[in-house]
Structure 1
Amino acid sequence: MRRPSARRTGVAGWFLRHLQLLPVLLLVAGALLDYNTPPHFSAEAFYTAAPMTAAALLSLRATVLAGIGACAADLALLAHFGFIADSGGLSELAAVATVSAFAVVVNRLIHYRDVQLQSVRRVALTVQRAVLPQPPAVIGPLRIAVRYQSAVADAQIGGDLYAVQDTPHGVRCLIGDVRGKGMEAVKTVDVALGVFREAAEEEPDLVRIAARLERALSRESQRRTGVERVEGFVTAVLAEIPHSVAELRLVNRGHPAPLLLCRGEVRAVEPSGPALPLALADLGPDMDRVDRVPFPAGATLLLYTDGLTEARDGSGAFYDPVARLAGWEFAEPDALLEALLSDVVRHTGGGITDDLALLAVTRAAQSADPVRRAAPGA
């Protein structure tokens, strides 16, 4: 398994840790430069850069200490060259002291902005978790796990959604991705989940569930204005696992193909025919069809949003879950999702740029090994 992204993560972490030493390096470099150059040369730029750098990178205490150090170094060199009483020297010292004081103000402004942003992010994630409740971990022979990884870009609430429901027709699952972010996306997620929960209980097949979702989401998009009225669509996959048949039934509406993992093999379950995302049926004929594939004991269904396949490494290469997961086996879906998220972080070098929802359903083997055999990237 490839590891270049892991090395990039280590280099980035090393750089960030040592970047905090920059204010000290600026002070030392300024003092040495000032001491070893002609008397009329000034290293004032280094003395003022040190507290401003500390303001952006370090705590309030470190910023104050950097300001004091800058003033002390400048004062010591002015005294050494006999400029302490000179008007030019006093002007230079006043400039360094003024910038140091301003650095403290900047540090506080950055701190308050970060506190406010973190508060908004917590609210956004709380709303997200309220809209997307945790599904049951076990339904009969099925083991279920979900993960929602938010990119929290600008503290926006994402539009990824998932649901799992045990019905008289089997265990039915939904994963989807609403175009856009923010409260409009949350409204669409709420509509989709509400319709799915009701339709999953009542409708005899997935095509009819998709039709009800289509009608509801089309009505929702018609209530919008501007470009959202035209582009307020949802890509989605509907899955059904019957209680009495080791089979998996799928309806794909323009969403990334689900993955089926079994005995170390990984394959994408591509739809047998193209279909438009939900809320776009007016643009083309009704193309919904149910694809059926075997779902034996020990197999795992992995549903995901495009935050997984659009994750890029430093060279711009997209994450390929089929290639990355091939050859690895997991007894439980939780172990699979933990390993998958860790591998995505290694691939991207430490973070994701889009929200990511994962839903894994494993049909338990009769003698399942409780120990995870291996993990991607290990």
Structure 2
Amino acid sequence: MYGDARHGTLDGGSRARVRAIPGIGRPPWLLPLALIALGVIFDLLTPASLLVGSLAAAPMAAAALWTGRGTVLTGALSTVSAFSLVVWANVLTVVEGVVRVVAVFTVSLLAVAVHHALHHSELRLASVRRVAEAVQLAVLPVPPSRIGDLTLAVRYEAAQVNALIGGDMYGVQQTPHGVRMLVGDVRGKGLDAVAAVTVVFGAFREAAETEPDLGAVADRLEHALVREMEQRGGAGRVEGFVTAVLAEVPAGAPGTLRIVNRGHPPPLLLSADGSSVRVLEPDSYALPLGLGELAGGGGHADPVPFPPGALLLLYTDGLTEARNTEGAFYDPVARLRGRRFAEPGLLLDALVADIDAYTAGGTDDDMAMLAVMRDPVPPAAARSPSVSGTHPSA
């Protein structure tokens, strides 16, 4: 869910940080020392009248790659090296020698100032990220990893580096009516999308507890979203719709799944042995939340079996709209068929890695995923018949 913000330390510790350069990657950690060595060797092997700039470049490289202490030491070493080369050559005038040494010393001072600015910029970014993470957890709390005989895992992969929140959402609620789940995607980005997420998720948490029918839960989400848009004067009414899919494992019937789909990519059901991936299409399609009054009803699906060991995957369109370098969309059904996963977290880890490889790291949409597994039947229980002569319930 949370991208890698830095490499190394931000507190001025002894370890250097190495930033990645777009299109190139991370430069060598010893680049500043290599520049000093290159400058010294070049000056020793060439006439003193020739000037190489790597001695001055070394402190700037250290400012970008190393800590403050490393930048200061690199600047001092570059200045001492420049002075030693001037003395050793003994062919430059005093003015020429002083100019060369002062130039390297001045660049070293600038490098220290540059490092100071970069350091404080990173500290501010880290502070913003901590606040954003707190907002993320408040808006979309991480569900428990286990509810009854269900194991759960979630992932939120932001398309933009350092972005933590957006218009994708997930939620899980244990209710008197069963375990209810939600995955949705707000049309649009930015703060308006986050506001819509807050409205829909808040309505889900309340309605899931009180409404006995899953379709009624979806209707409550619809009403909450429409009410919010009306309070805003109807601005952006079409822009504010939300695609969503709700799933339920009913209380007392753990071997059953119920699905309500409001214009969202259909969930997938992976068999326990990995031999099949079933697309849980609705019996009739419905418009997204916020547009339901244009064509009410629909989105329901007949109950489907949820056998032991099966995996339910709910996701946003960031998964199915990911493209490779040739423009072909990612097909999760084809990519998952024939694969077995011991737990939901492994499924999501595999999907994230597979999409990253498929798109060469070029995804341009956020992606939220929720995976739920029903506990497999223990091997001993599967072999031993019950008292009535049947196997444990599926």
- TM-score of the two chains, using structure 2 as the length reference: 0.78
Distance 1:226 1:81, change over 3 A: farther
2:301 maps to which of 291, 306, 315:
291
**Which letter does structure 1 place at the counterpart of 2:344?**
P
Q: Tell me the CA shift for residue 331 of structure 1.
A: 3.6
Q: Tell me the CA shift for residue 207 of structure 1.
A: 2.7
Q: Please say if residues 223 and 229 of structure 1, whose CA atoms lie closer than 8 Å, have aligned partners that are also in contact.
A: no
User: Counterparts of 2:143 and 2:37 in 1: how far apart (Å)?
Assistant: 57
Counterpart position of 2:270? 261
Percentage of matched positions with identical amino acids? 53
* Residue correspondence of structure 1 range 92-171 to structure 2 within 5 A: 92-150=100-158, 153=161, 155=163, 157-171=165-179
For these two proteins, the number of residue pairs brought into alignment is: 355
- State the SS of the aligned residue for 2:179: strand
Are residues 1:19 and 2:28 paired?
yes
Counterpart position of 1:276? 287
Are residues 1:32 and 2:57 paired?
no
Q: Residue by residue, what CA displacement relative to the aligned partner does 1:231-271 show, whole Å, maximum 9, x if unpaired?
A: 22222111122234433222222323211111202233334
More helix by share: 1
Q: Tell me the CA shift for residue 280 of structure 1.
A: 3.0
**Which letter does structure 2 place at the counterpart of 1:65?**
L
Q: Residue by residue, what CA displacement relative to the aligned partner does 1:299-319 show, whole Å, maximum 9, x if unpaired?
A: 111112234445566777655
User: Counterparts of 1:285 and 1:51 in 2: how far apart (Å)?
Assistant: 66
Distance 1:23 1:320, change over 3 A: farther
Distance 1:297 1:253, change over 3 A: same
Q: Tell me the CA shift for residue 214 of structure 1.
A: 1.5
User: Counterparts of 2:329 and 2:120 in 1: how far apart (Å)?
Assistant: 36
Q: Tell me the CA shift for residue 175 of structure 1.
A: 0.9
**Which letter does structure 2 place at the counterpart of 1:260?**
L
Q: Please say if residues 260 and 266 of structure 1, whose CA atoms lie closer than 8 Å, have aligned partners that are also in contact.
A: yes
Moved more, 55-64 or 305-314: 305-314
- State the SS of the aligned residue for 2:125: helix
Structure 2 gap segments, 5+ residues each: 1-19, 381-394
Q: Residue by residue, what CA displacement relative to the aligned partner does 1:159-217 show, whole Å, maximum 9, x if unpaired?
A: 32222223343322111122445543333222112211222233343332222212211
Q: Please say if residues 284 and 301 of structure 2, whose CA atoms lie closer than 8 Å, have aligned partners that are also in contact.
A: no
Structure 1 gap segments, 5+ residues each: 1-11, 370-378
User: Counterparts of 2:314 and 2:39 in 1: how far apart (Å)?
Assistant: 57
Counterpart position of 2:78? 70
Q: Please say if residues 26 and 50 of structure 1, whose CA atoms lie closer than 8 Å, have aligned partners that are also in contact.
A: yes
- TM-score of the two chains, using structure 1 as the length reference: 0.81
Q: Residue by residue, what CA displacement relative to the aligned partner does 1:10-31 show, whole Å, maximum 9, x if unpaired?
A: xx99x85652222222222222
Counterpart position of 1:60? 68
Distance 1:356 1:172, change over 3 A: same
**Which letter does structure 2 place at the counterpart of 1:276?**
L
Are residues 1:191 and 2:191 paired?
no
RMSD in angstroms over aligned alpha carbons?
Answer: 3.2
User: Counterparts of 1:338 and 1:137 in 2: how far apart (Å)?
Assistant: 15
User: Counterparts of 2:115 and 2:233 in 1: how far apart (Å)?
Assistant: 41
